[in-house]
Amino acid sequence: MAENVVDPEKELRTLLVKFDALGNITRATWYEFRQAALDLAPQLKPMDLALHAWEVVGHDTSKAYVNSLDLSKPSFLEDIAKLIVQSSTMMGETARLVKSQKPNEVFVEWDRCPWPEFARKYGATMEEDVLGCDMWFQTVIKDINEIFGTDVKLETTHAIPRGDKTCTRRLTMSDRHKKKGAKGQGEGAAKGDAKKHGGK
Amino acid sequence: MAQKAKWDYSDKPGAKMFPHLFKPIKIRNMTIPNRIKYAATEDNLNDHNGFITPAGLEYMRERAKGVVGGICCMQGVYMDPKREGQGYVGQAAAWDDKYLPGLTKMADAIKGEGAVSDYQLMHCGRVGGVEIDHCVGPSLVPQRLKIFRPVKEMTKEDIRRTIKEHAEAAKRGAQAGFEMMEISGIVGYLLSNFISSYTNKRTDEYGGDIEGRCRFMVDTIENVRDVIGKEMPLMVRLCAEELLDEVGGNTPEESMISYKLAEKAGIDCISVTQGWQESGTPVITRDIPQGKWLYNAKRAKEAVKVPISMAYRLFDPKIPNKAIGEGALDIWEMCRPMIADPHMPKKVLEGKLDEIRPCVACNLCLARLFRDAPMTCYVNPICAHESDPSWQAKPAETKKRIIVAGGGPAGLEFAYVAAQRGHEVHVFEEKDHLGGQIWHASKGLYGDEELMGMITYQHAMCKRHGVDFHLGQKVTAELLDEESPDTLIVASGVKYGYPKVPGIEKHPLVSALDVVEGKATVGDRVVIWGGKKPAISAALILSEKGKKVTMVFKERKVGKDVNPSYIWRYIQKLGNKGVKTYKEADIESFTDDGVIVKALYETRIPVKCDTVVYAEREPVRDLEAVAKEKGIEVQVIGDALVPRSLSNAIHDGYRMGIRI
């Protein structure tokens, strides 16, 4: 029957439109909540508020990440980068993993990010956007290092809100952790620590 | 007040062609020799403290020359030190005597060109407060447009102070030597905020019914009249039709009551306007037919006895000439046509109609103002640079023999400017007609035929300055050998192309140009590959024919090359026609029954279609290398450099023309 025919384009398009709208609502809500907090607590500095909020988000994100990471795998660093790409894509950004020639180095590159546009719309500074984002990732990395005993480092080399063409983040870790990552040991440690941080 | 010196138009061809435009009119006790008025236009050319600058003065001097004895109104001044009434960062101010020297220079500049100097008081009301955190209005009605500041409701004391500020600023205008004065009550400024039932919810004597809502206007008129004396003509610009039905704005009948009350309060001439910035109904974009709003002028003529003036899509002098002849209008008012060509009415008088640089009603000028940028014009590169000698065409120091490859807007603009400077210029055009991309673009819908007026103008200017045309002739390496020019200008425009993606052979591909020219055969379901102006034109033409159209483009928004004050019209039309758009997307592959669109968030969406129209442009500049090899000086302009808009082509051509 004609009315039961599924139009794949229509279905996908509907989902895409909803996803896009939801992303925008999320960003708008973030800044509206920020405004409400500043209205209620005028002594707060917007930057301090933003950094703290992103730190809270970072802790939550790291809980989700640790269950997908396995220190015994040689791809540990790359897997962190992949998770960052995944989170970013889910938030409406366009990001990709860029492999390096060096073994313990990987990059995440964003060429599209809707967040600065919302920052501008709601009167937040571009620097708040950059540093907020940094705080998110640095918190995630800090938690991962605590849980896995690693020394992963994340560095922001380019930022769209600062006028760069992309946002680029460089992830590195030293060799010594790879040796430590015997199968089973890392996994158990990771899962045990994840529980402390409220992971499943 | 002294009458203006008599202007004799009797031997001018334009006065015979348009007799009604060049006959005198009396406003109060002043006789104006013609029916032409340059309407007050913000230009953001003044400094950010409201002082008039040389750039602002020269801008106005050129417009004053253009009205050939008619009325020339300077931009509206804001009148309060708190800057609540300021709607534009470069708006002139008149709230203190310190502004008098600048205002006097402005009045002198206008009068120096023989025009009637007109001064406007403009409190921007709910569109104001551009440099502060709020604006003011009669009531706290939230803004519909995000760019405007939150509204603060005026107290009675605020109202009384504002009326006094109008009177004080009016006094300064008279002291500065202006001969005529007007109060602005258009598009959502303070006067209209009080008059409109949408924005005035007051229950005191300044609100209520239409008479109450007009009280602020009446009090203002009376206070201004008190300080300027009995002789000076006083005008008001008032909305005849707010087009705000969706938010409970005034009815057209209420608007006419405001006209009658203004007349009763002592107004000598009313300028008819329609629409508000907050109205969703367009009034001045290119898709609005010229002369559409004359019915409001006619209504005004029937409602009041004072002369009626009007602007709003009256670009072709035939239209106001006829309307004045029929008694539907008294004064032809304009701003955008004289932004595009400051001497427009003068050229009308001289009968040089094809030498008028036509406004294409794109509203780039407005887009700039709302972004706190100085005035600029899409088609007039000199606009707002009148005071800068480096922007003017001066005789060339070394005369050159120049070949221009391409007869589009960039090549033609260059050609006449360079020829005017003394160069020998030859335009070679491969096709048998001029116009380049504009020849195609003018076949678009909704007024796009007006774009071709620019080519007509450039062609006339080329003829006037002795440019040689070689139509149907392509510039080749051999031709360059034969002609041996000193300089080659590559203005060869674009070609339409597409990347090779898997399965592309499965579908017939047609170009956007073939669609706009009606040459292409397309099926019922069409995907347009591109999102810029050619793609929009093709989408509108096909959807108008009932085709199911989907646009796929890489940019974040449709019409990246269309200016922000016009794109909303296209978006509205595309939406009304049911055109689907995939932004930040591309065609990844072709399938048996359509294409796979790689959309946002890496989503792959199958889109059924039977025809794909490619609408992306690539520059054509092969000749650059050929010329370089031969040691010929070469410059690339217009789309051949980077495919962009008509404006970029014109501005490229002009700038190269004055430098070469």
The ipTM is 0.76
B584 contact residues in A (CB cutoff 8 A): 94, 112
Contact B33, B70 (CB under 8 A): yes
- Torsion of the alpha carbons at B2, B3, B8 and B13, rounded to the nearest 10: 130
Q: pLDDT band at residue B506, thresholds of 50, 70 and 90?
A: confident
The rounded radius of gyration (Å) of the Cα atoms in chain B is 27
pLDDT in tens, B275-310: 999 999 999 999 999 999 999 999 999 999 999 999
First to last CA, chain B: 50
B605 with A12: Cβ contact below 8 A: yes
DSSP alpha helices (H): ranges in B23-132? 54-66, 100-112
- In angstroms, the Cα distances linking B470 to B9, B376, B639 are 39, 33, 20
Give the SS3 label for residue B427.
Answer: strand
A20 contact residues in B (CB cutoff 8 A): 600
Nearest chain B residue (CA) to A23: B601
Q: pLDDT band at residue A98, thresholds of 50, 70 and 90?
A: very high
Sequence-separated contacts (24+) of B519-523 with Cβ below 8 Å: B520/B613, B522/B547, B522/B610, B522/B611, B522/B613, B523/B547, B523/B609, B523/B610, B523/B611
Given B146, B600, B606, which is nearest A20 (Cβ)?
B600
pLDDT in tens, A136-167: 999 999 999 999 999 999 999 999 999 999 99
**pLDDT over 70 (residue B137):** yes
DSSP alpha helices (H): ranges in B311-382? 318-325, 336-340, 344-349, 364-370
Given A8, A89, A121, which is nearest B601 (Cβ)?
A89
Residues 6+ apart with CB under 8 A from A179: none
B601 with A92: Cβ contact below 8 A: yes
Residues 6+ apart with CB under 8 A from B493: B406, B408, B410, B436, B437, B619, B620, B638, B639, B640
- In angstroms, the Cα distances linking B57 to B45, B193, B223, B637 are 9, 30, 29, 32
Q: Give the pLDDT score at B2.
A: 45
**Beta-carbon-side half-sphere exposure of residue A29 (alpha carbons within 13 Å):** 6
Given A8, A13, A19, which is nearest B601 (Cβ)?
A19
CA B492, B494, B499, B504 dihedral sign is negative
Among A56, A58, A59, A78, residue whose Cα is nearest residue A69:
A78
The count of residues in chain B is 660
Q: Give the pLDDT score at A177.
A: 65
Q: pLDDT band at residue B657, thresholds of 50, 70 and 90?
A: very high
First to last CA, chain A: 46
Among A171, A40, A5, residue whose Cα is nearest residue A95:
A171
Q: What is the rounded distance in angstroms from the CA atom of residue A82 to the CA atom of residue A105?
A: 13
Contact B184, B122 (CB under 8 A): yes
- The tokens describing B120, both together, are 């406007």
* A8 interfacial to chain B (CB closer than 8 Å): yes
Identify the residue among A5, A9, A35 best suited for mutation to test binding to B, counting B beta carbons within 10 A and taking the highest: A9
**pLDDT over 70 (residue B77):** yes
CA distance B219 to chain A (A): 39
Give the SS3 label for residue B1.
Answer: coil
**pLDDT over 90 (residue A196):** no
Q: Give the pLDDT score at A5.
A: 87
Q: What is the rounded distance in angstroms from the CA atom of residue A164 to the CA atom of residue A166?
A: 5
State the CB neighbour count (10 A cutoff) for residue B204.
12
Q: What is the DSSP string of A28-55?
A: HHHHHHHHHHHHH-TTS-HHHHHHHHHH
Q: pLDDT band at residue A180, thresholds of 50, 70 and 90?
A: low
Helical pair B252-264 and B294-303, crossing angle rounded to 10 deg: 50
A16 with B601: Cβ contact below 8 A: yes
Element (H, E) at A89: helix A76-90
Q: What is the rounded distance in angstroms from the CA atom of residue B154 to the CA atom of residue B136?
A: 6
**pLDDT over 50 (residue A66):** yes
Nearest chain A residue (CA) to B582: A13
A9 with B602: Cβ contact below 8 A: no
Nearest chain B residue (CA) to A122: B146
Contact A81, A105 (CB under 8 A): no
* Mean pLDDT of the B374-380 span: 96
**pLDDT over 60 (residue B351):** yes
Nearest chain B residue (CA) to A11: B605
Given A9, A20, A94, which is nearest B605 (Cβ)?
A9
Q: pLDDT band at residue B37, thresholds of 50, 70 and 90?
A: very high
- β-strand partners of B582: B552
Given A9, A19, A92, which is nearest B606 (Cβ)?
A9
Phi-psi region of B69 (alpha: psi -120 to 50; beta: other; left: phi over 0): left
pLDDT in tens, B139-151: 999 999 888 999 9
Mean pLDDT over the full length of chain B: 96
pLDDT in tens, B49-75: 999 999 999 999 999 999 999 999 999
